[in-house]
Chains A and B, each alone.
Chain A
Amino acid sequence: MNNDIRTHHPDGQGELMAHAVDACVHCGFCLPACPTYALLGDEMDSPRGRIVLIKEVLEGALPLYDAAPHLDRCLGCQACVTACPSGVPYGELITSFRGWSEPQRQRSPLDRAKRASILKILPAPKVFSLAARVGQFAKPLAPLLPNALRSPLDLLPEHVPAMQPSAAFTPARGQRRGRVAFLVGCAQQALAPNFNAATLRVLARNGIEVVIPDGQGCCGAAALHTGARGEALKLVRANLAAFNPDDFDAILSNAAGCGAGLKEYPAILHGLPDEAQAQAFAAKVQDISEYLGALLEDGELEPPMPTSRPLKVAYHDACHLAHAQGVRSAPRALLRAIPGVTVLEVPEGDLCCGSAGTYNLEQPELATQLGVRKAKNILSTAPDLIASGNIGCHTQIQSHARRQGSPVPVMHTIEVLDLAYRGEL
């Protein structure tokens, strides 16, 4: 698609956006992959349509407020990136565009307050945990509240667990085979502290020592994807300062959204002096399943114990793992490595569950439709257990599966592995 965005926006982000728009040949292969196109069936709410809208806005031919509703409905799931034969970096495009356009948005005071509070609470686990606890008690009042306040409450689990701070250093058990740094993540510390505990146990069991560098913080993805570029840059730079890639074999995350965020650092800093530093950092970033999957492939993974009975595990591909990071086979291989486990494929597996960062809070209606559809699809496989690698998907699937009356447990892939190591599966 021809464009003259570079002339209007001569900085690094302008160049990045122009390249992405240029790469689109508007073939339409992305349409069937897009969740909002699946729900709404119109071109404006498809990736191809959004690229056209972005181009028109960037070139000054279309007012931002006219295009914004359609761009806001994009989940950022990047299923279109997987489907695109032309290699359009859509994820980078929408992220850069949101960063560019947010300062120009006119939002209502309530909307502004909501967004500001999300960005304050989400990256601060202690505050988040406190808010979640308060929210837990407010849950019964949810039906009486306006939509803006109701949607976050709907997402909260019935029981908010106690925080479990992770040790700054976890030694390897047995012979030391590696040394990694670990990003602890934000929301999941409050909502699912066992994700991190299980991760540290599984790594230690495999002879990997884990450092949780001081000074690390939120990966910045939530800020970035809601367009708060200034805020995101601060968080990115704090992490670049906290993690020295030379000190570790890998920098690991166990939340697909955060991992994808870390891998995006070079694009965020494109054209800025610290771009090279971001590249060195991102080259070391791996999802926990990628890292353990490589051990498995090399025949070096500690063998897990067999399950007590045959276990059917439905594996859900988190968009930020499958589409944004291209990690599909490793988590499945890890689950299959547990004797007694059968991995089930989910119908419409490539379709987003609707959680997508803050999407649940900003587009509750579409998020709910997708959540219902995802839960139905997963439950149609009649699993004994549901596994996934992202906290957002986890809460969404859990909440919709419960609403559909299903008691099937929902776990992080690493939790499943951890239970297998302990002979408790």
Chain B
Amino acid sequence: MTIGKAVRPEKQALTPSLGDSLPKSKGGSLHPLAATLTRLLGPRKVLSNLSERLNYRYDAIAFGATPLCVVLPESTADVVAAVKAARAVGVPIVGRGAASGLSGGAAPTEPGLVISFTRMTRLSIDPVRREALAQAGVITLSVTEAAKPFGLIYPPDPASFRTSTIGGNLAENAGGPLCFKYGVTGDYVQGLEFVDADGEVHSLTRDAYDLAGLLIGSEGTLGLITQATLRLTTPPQFTRTLMAHFAEVGQCAEAVSAAIAAGAVPSKLEFMDRACTNAIEDYLHLGLPREAEALLLVDTDGNDLETVEEERALVEAACRNAGGTVRRAESDAEAAQLWQARRSVSPALGRIRPQRMNEDIVVPRSVLPEVVREIRALGDASGLHLVQFGHIGDGNLHPNILFDPRTESLEAVHDLAHEVARVAIRHGGVLSGEHGIGSMKLAFMREAVDAGTLAALWRVKHALDPHGALNPGKVLPAEEA
């Protein structure tokens, strides 16, 4: 079963069908900003009906405020016009890609302008320089697809890579299973173009002050990235896949630590617990071991088959020593299936409870077994549904609290999330590996970052966005008076 080939949205004018000649929304009169932008950009790029605006208030985890107006720019010039118009009337500006983010980054905290980049999809490959020039709305997967004929790939592979956009990946500095060996989105950026809070366009490379580095992962709070030059690389010739399952979550973490200590550098090291495995089984029916408390998926890759096999053998031995049962993927198809399973974990959890609080902690690998056990124990003691998965090779874990807001207390959910965050902080970890802080983890920032550093971050924010127009209410908790 495949999710379907990623198709790039093509812009189309649309004649309303019969039956549409009826009154348009009465849901509030047209905001003056929408009128101005329609005059500047034409009606096709501006959404002002309630039915349209309602659909630009969420991402993959949170619902926010309904925007006053939505712009679908087709060029950097459109973005400039939109930013200037919004600033002139003093409304906040939120950038948005495919809204598959998991920290509330693209969900507005107050009514304003949403700039949705899904139509900025220009993409070109320079095989000699091994670079891709991608506008913000390019779908992540299409970069690799366009690079393939030249024998190149773009490694960052967030789970949502069929849906998510390069602009969104940059805003959140997205990672993926491959980041253990190959790095995250930010590691592939050679240069950026962005529009600042005043509507000025800037082009950056990574010399002098690494301002590009500051923009990457800033979640649209410092500027709006309109295009990027991305580094491409050659794909490894050989890949081998292995799956191991364990009777206890800590054993899985022990196997990971041992394998890496023994010298293996797998390209992917992913873990999911029993609840995740079962949610996936309900969706894909792959015959995964439903009884196991933890499942580990590993790829080793490279251009020397002997080394690739050796590394797999090292991981295999570490898994067995930790008490695991190992299965080798015998074909590319089997490996592909296992990885599709891993990519579907996050949304498949919706089968257990309709809502969730998603954590994105990173801890040192040396403390992994302790951390996953502590979090498991917190979950068991809370009476709530807590599950764990993540890029365990990086120490990047995603403990998720699944809940039903009609029957379970939001306060209890929040308390448990806070406890989980504290486990990470106590073991020398951080709050976000790849999904960003957004609005979801704002409350934990004061504990994770000391007051002096927070003040420095605020000074950066004030320097680049003096009026606080860009994605307010994200990343930084409000300054104390």
Contacts and interface: CB of A to CB of B under 8 A. Distances in A.
Interface stretch (A21-29, A187-195, A293-301): A21-29
Interface in B7-54: 7-12, 14-27, 47, 49-52, 54
A241 to B, nearest CB: 34
Contacts of B267: none
B19 A42 contact: no
A303 interface: no
A382 to B, nearest CB: 19
A28 B160 contact: yes
B27 A62 contact: yes
Interface string A26-70: 111101110001111111100001001100100000110111111
Interface residues of B, number: 64
A44 B19 contact: no
A2 B17 contact: no
Contacts of B17: 69, 72-73, 362-363, 365
A84 B347 contact: yes
Given A25-B354, A41-B119, A365 B3 contact: no
Contact of B163 (A22, A32, A82, A350): A32
B55 A23 contact: no
Contact of B347 (A29, A53, A63, A105): A29
Nearest to A40: B12
B99 A106 contact: no
B1 interface: yes
A229 B18 CA distance: 21
A249 to B, nearest CB: 25
Contact of A86 (B56, B99, B350): B350
Contacts, number: 179
B16 to A, nearest CB: 6
B7 A38 contact: yes
Given A350-B5, A362-B17, A87 B50 contact: no
A10 interface: no
Contacts of A44: 47, 51-52, 55
B205 interface: no
B3 A32 contact: yes
A28 B100 contact: yes
B300 interface: no
A148 B18 contact: yes
A363 B1 CA distance: 29
Nearest to A31: B163
- Tell me the dominant secondary structure on chain B's binding face: loop
Contact of A85 (B9, B55, B118, B348): B348
Interface stretch (A107-115, A156-164, A262-270): A107-115
Nearest to A21: B354
B354 A1 contact: yes
B160 A369 contact: no
B278 interface: no
B466 interface: no
18 contacts: A2-B405, A22-B354, A25-B350, A27-B60, A29-B3, A31-B98, A33-B3, A37-B9, A42-B118, A44-B52, A52-B55, A62-B51, A69-B20, A72-B20, A82-B2, A108-B19, A108-B21, A366-B14
Nearest 10 pairs between A and B by C-beta? A41-B9, A86-B350, A25-B350, A27-B347, A350-B4, A43-B55, A85-B344, A33-B4, A28-B100, A38-B7
Interface of B: 1-12, 14-27, 47, 49-52, 54-56, 58-60, 72, 98-100, 116, 118-119, 139, 160, 162-164, 280, 282-283, 344, 346-351, 354-356, 405-406
Given A28-B99, A32-B5, A365-B17, 9 more contacts: A29-B163, A42-B9, A65-B22, A82-B2, A85-B350, A108-B19, A148-B18, A348-B7, A350-B5
